[in-house]
Structure 1
Amino acid sequence: MPSAAAAIAPVLLLVASNVFMTFAWYGHLRVEHRPIWLIIVVSWAIAFFEYCLAVPANRIGRTVYSAAELKTMQEVITLTVFTVFSVTYLGERLTWNHAIGFALIAAGALFVFKGPF
């Protein structure tokens, strides 16, 4: 039986990796006065740390979760991190369309983990 740490560590590592990746992909949207080549280089440097967390997360997580469960977990975490990021860092507001869309994705995740089939 896998340990509790093997079940929780991937979640924590994926959350941390998603923070890095969200900044790599979207953090530059507030930095419009820099050349695109510099934005790309900085984004790749940030993404390096994302990979340093995501790869072990999936390696450790594979002892507890299927690949489909890991990918589903990743997507739900990505949406959660992105939602917090877009509201707090980018100053965007969430709409009912966002909430409904995210809820449908969460419902899909529920089927992957606990589906009736």
Structure 2
Amino acid sequence: MRTILLLIISNSFMTYAWYGHLKHTDTALWKVILMSWGIAFFEYCFMVPANRYGFQEGFSGFQLKTIQEVVSLTVFSLFAIFFLKEPLKWNYLVSFSLLIGAAYFMFKK
């Protein structure tokens, strides 16, 4: 659970670093890049421990990456809906469902 919580926090920072500037297109690109790097530092402060703890708890590298992708899509979906005000379309839900199915098979014995 600690790994997943850290991944959620990490992805929240990274999603904002990558996409938060889309609402501020009047800011110079070089400033946006520097601000994004600054925000990404905090992403790494949570991502690295998440992966280390997860590996120590028995997750494989493949499993950690799969968890990260599902968390990333979940965080991004919420960000896109509530921050960017974008609609959630049916085909997005279908594609996310297929990715969750992939995650299921990643952990299947």
Fold conserved (TM > 0.5)?
yes
Question: What runs of 5+ residues in structure 1 fail to find an aligned partner?
Answer: 1-7
User: Does residue 19 of the first structure (1) align with residue 12 of the second (2)?
Assistant: yes
**Any idea what the Cα deviations from partners look like across 1:56-84, whole Å, max 9, x if unmatched?**
00000001211111000000000000000
Cross-structure match for 1:5:
none
Identity %: 50
Runs of at least 4 residues of structure 1 off by over 3 A? none
1:42 deviates by 0.1
User: Does residue 77 of the first structure (1) align with residue 71 of the second (2)?
Assistant: yes
Task: Let me know the Cα RMSD of the aligned residues.
Answer: 0.7
User: Does residue 88 of the first structure (1) align with residue 82 of the second (2)?
Assistant: yes
Aligned length: 108
Cross-structure match for 2:37:
44
Question: What runs of 5+ residues in structure 2 fail to find an aligned partner?
Answer: none
1:26 deviates by 0.3
Question: Distance in 1 between the 2:107 and 2:24 partners?
Answer: 39
Cross-structure match for 1:4:
none
TM-score (norm 2): 0.97
